[in-house]
Amino acid sequence: MENNNISILGAGLIGSLLGIFLRKRGLDVSIFEKREDRRHQLYKEEGRSINMALSDRGWKALEKVGLKDKIKDLAIPMYGRRIHDEHGNTTFQQYGKDGEAIYSISRGKFNQILVDEAEKVGVQLNFEHKCEDVNIYKKQIKFSLPKWEAKKHQANVIIGADGAYSALRSSMQKQERFDFSQHYISHGYKELSIPPTAEGEFAMDPNALHIWPRGKFMLIALPNPDKSFTCTLFLPFEGTKVCFDKIHDKKDVESVFKTYFNDAYNMMPTLGEDFFKNPTSALITINCYPWVKNQCLLIGDASHAMVPFYGQGMNCGFEDCYVLDGLIEKYGTTSWELIFEKFQKMRKPDTDAISQLALENFIEMRDAVSDPKFLIRKKIEARLHELYPKEWIPLYTMVTFSDIPYSEAYAQGKIQDRIMNKVMADPLITQNWDKLDYEDIIDQVETARMV
């Protein structure tokens, strides 16, 4: 049946997982990917090994397609943040309750498994097919192939999972009443690396996400199964004392790292080379609507790219797949208009909320986490959650360890934030936090919710 024929653009994390979901619903699925098939080469992305944090929403989607156990074998649990101060001292801040963790996983290996699985369940894969344009009304896709070949493909249903610079979205932008905005933050990022020790061991605690918060900039590191760490340096591009524009040679790199990240510097023997070999990349937020036009749908980063500071871009895209699959389960595939319309209405408030939270969390990560008052605040919130598990759920827990809609988490988080600001305004809070009237705080939450 015509309606059962789906063309997905992009075999990234979201496109390949969506392919699996749709194929498992008995649909004919073809994925078109601009890159060549690199699954069987040693995994490296432009010379870098990049890893990501996978959390509950991502796991939920993987579980639904039966991939949770396979992926878990490759993932390293990180139970909290390990904060490195400028003198090399570290403190550990647990993310959630005992046993709750986010998981570090190699993006390339993960993508490879998803594409392999898509192929296994019968998705047709077309590599080296770069979408140049989509005629939304005719549902015709123009591809460029290697050697300047071109190809037209007549589709029935088109889903753009082709990332932040989506070609489907560009074609939709030519339509009337398509809202679009993009915003680059002033910071960029660069991937670096901490290799295993001479004894072949992890150079730091592998079960933590390491952060070197330095106010306007920061370094983070996530563990890899080969006992190395992938580090990401976030710096302003220009205009501040420490910024990418002012780092010209290895001596400059050394000077910045020795001054601000000395303990990390001592574990990075190839820092100078890596810094100039690896690209400096920008960080973008994309906002657009509608996501649907004539049976063409945007999903994942194509519809809502966000900055990476909540570690939710991929998790949110996986949740997109989960929600879309739930709608197909409920309504069948006879009316894609109905399903896509419901999908965008449901998801847009949630993806707006997590995009905003991701921007806000940058300040928390690069600055607040090193403030002793921040630790007290977290302790109070943890106590409230322990005493009143339903009435008070810390924002990080709602986003990372639950599937509470992001928009609800956002609204609830703002109420809690206001109340915590009042609690923290007490000049003696550092001494008194243990003796607070926790019941009264919960009463305040209940009252605020009713207003």
Which residues of this chain interact with ligand FAD, rule CB under 6 A? Answer: 9-15, 32-35, 52-53, 130-131, 161-163, 167, 189, 232, 300-302, 308, 311-315, 317
Instruction: Give dist(CA 451, CA 439) in Å, integer.
Output: 19
- Pair type for strands 5-9 and 28-32: parallel
Residue closer to ligand FAD (CB basis): 315 or 344: 315
Residue closer to ligand FAD (CB basis): 232 or 262: 232
Residue closer to ligand FAD (CB basis): 13 or 204: 13
Residue closer to ligand FAD (CB basis): 151 or 422: 151
**Minimum distance, C-beta of residue 55 to ligand FAD, in the bound complex (Å):** 7
**Minimum distance, C-beta of residue 141 to ligand FAD, in the bound complex (Å):** 9
**Minimum distance, C-beta of residue 193 to ligand FAD, in the bound complex (Å):** 14
**Minimum distance, C-beta of residue 50 to ligand FAD, in the bound complex (Å):** 7
Whether 161 and 30 have beta carbons less than 8 Å apart is answered as no
- Angle (CA) 94-361-401 rounded to 5° is 45
CA distances to 172, 221, 281, 291, 324 from 108, rounded to whole Å, are 29, 17, 18, 27, 25
Whether 182 and 286 have beta carbons less than 8 Å apart is answered as yes
Residue closer to ligand FAD (CB basis): 162 or 380: 162
User: CB count, 10 Å around CB of 330?
Assistant: 9
Whether 202 and 225 have beta carbons less than 8 Å apart is answered as no
Residue closer to ligand FAD (CB basis): 29 or 167: 167
Residue closer to ligand FAD (CB basis): 380 or 398: 398
Residue closer to ligand FAD (CB basis): 353 or 376: 353
Whether 321 and 18 have beta carbons less than 8 Å apart is answered as yes
The DSSP string of 32-83 is E-SS---TTSPP-BTTB--EEEE-HHHHHHHHHTT-HHHHHTT-EEE-EEEE
**Minimum distance, C-beta of residue 287 to ligand FAD, in the bound complex (Å):** 14
Give kind and range of the element (H or E) at residue 194: strand 179-194
- Pair type for strands 292-293 and 281-289: unpaired
**Minimum distance, C-beta of residue 104 to ligand FAD, in the bound complex (Å):** 8
**Minimum distance, C-beta of residue 108 to ligand FAD, in the bound complex (Å):** 11
**Minimum distance, C-beta of residue 162 to ligand FAD, in the bound complex (Å):** 4
Residue with tokens 């990372």: 400
In the complex, which residue's CB is closest to ligand FAD? 12
Nearest of 165, 182, 168 to residue 298 by alpha carbon = 168
